[in-house]
């Protein structure tokens, strides 16, 4: 497990490095977003722990640049716990968000949860529901033949819906299974992401049924 730790505070990088190495992984460090982007161009990492507030290039901007070149899972680290920051992080492709001060043990648990989701072998099948085509292995979604630009989290939600087609899913179940280890979110997090997903699916948003007072269900005829 190769982990890139990006933070402008030496102490935080050192602590996380110790826990990564204790867990049997390899830790690499960057002190700002610009250095992180450069390292990702030159190396492959299994996961990135990315601070937000950094000099030269902030974490949000760094994630945007990295996602253009490689699909590496990212956990954001921030002293700012506002919901807007969390949702913006998810929109640009972050897989999880940890608010400082944090427990290094919790961070490592989240690392393993995210990596587990990425390493699960998806079905090689391509499934089609009317004009909605979902390529499980390729992680691509097409709406009437046009590729939909989904965020990683939106794809995970849709993939989860398809795997559980016809099953009523509570918001709590979605938070636990899609966001992973003890995500400190609320119903609005789920609703916001599903709203964005529905927008990208256009007319095929009809397959995502809202169950009032409960959650959602992916239902096709």
139: helix, strand or coil: coil
The confidence score (pLDDT) of residue 62 equals 95
Task: Return the pLDDT at 176.
Answer: 81
3-state SS assignment for residue 102 = coil
10-residue stretch averages of pLDDT, the chain, 221 residues long: 95 95 95 95 94 91 90 86 74 84 90 80 72 85 92 89 90 82 64 92 95 91 71
| Rounded distance between C-alpha atoms, residue 57 and residue 33, angstroms | 5
3-state secondary structure of 169: strand
Instruction: Tell me the CATH class for 126-218.
Output: mainly alpha
What's the rounded Cα separation, in Å, for the pair 212 and 209?
A: 9
Closest CA to 181 of 95, 110, 97: 110
Instruction: Indicate the burial class of 24 (C-beta count within 10 angstroms; 0-12, 13-18, 19 or more).
Output: exposed
Q: How far apart are CA 115 and CA 181, in angstroms?
A: 11
The closest of 80, 81, 4, 12 to 35, measured between CA atoms, is: 4
Sequence spans of domains, the chain? 2-119, 126-218
Q: Which residues pair with 7 in a beta bridge?
A: none
pLDDT at 186: 62
| Domain pair 2-119 / 126-218, same fold | no
Architecture of domain 2-119: 3-Layer(aba) Sandwich (3.40)
Residue 29's Cα: distance from chain center in Å? 21
């Amino acid at each position: 497990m190769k982990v890139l730790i990006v933070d402008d505070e030496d102490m935080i990088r050192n602590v996380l490095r110790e826990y990564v190495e204790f867990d049997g992984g390899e830790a690499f460090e960057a002190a700002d977003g610009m250095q992180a982007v450069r390292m990702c161009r030159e190396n492959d990492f299994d996961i990135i722990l990315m601070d937000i507030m950094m000099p030269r290039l902030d974490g949000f901007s760094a994630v945007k640049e990295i996602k253009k070149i490689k699909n590496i899972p990212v956990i954001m680290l921030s002293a700012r716990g506002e919901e807007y920051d969390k949702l913006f992080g998810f929109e640009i492709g972050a897989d999880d968000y940890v608010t400082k001060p944090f427990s290094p043990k919790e961070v490592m648990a989240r690392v393993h949860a995210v990596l587990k989701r990425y390493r699960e072998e998806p079905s090689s099948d391509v499934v089609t529901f009317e004009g909605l085509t979902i390529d499980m292995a390729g992680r691509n979604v097409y709406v009437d033949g046009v590729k939909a630009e989904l965020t990683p989290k939106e794809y995970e939600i849709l993939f989860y819906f398809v795997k559980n087609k016809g099953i009523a899913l509570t918001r709590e179940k979605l938070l636990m299974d899609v966001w992973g280890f003890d995500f400190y979110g609320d119903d609005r997090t789920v609703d916001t992401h599903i709203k964005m997903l529905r927008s990208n699916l256009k007319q095929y948003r009809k397959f995502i049924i809202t169950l009032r007072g409960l959650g959602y269900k992916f239902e096709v005829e």
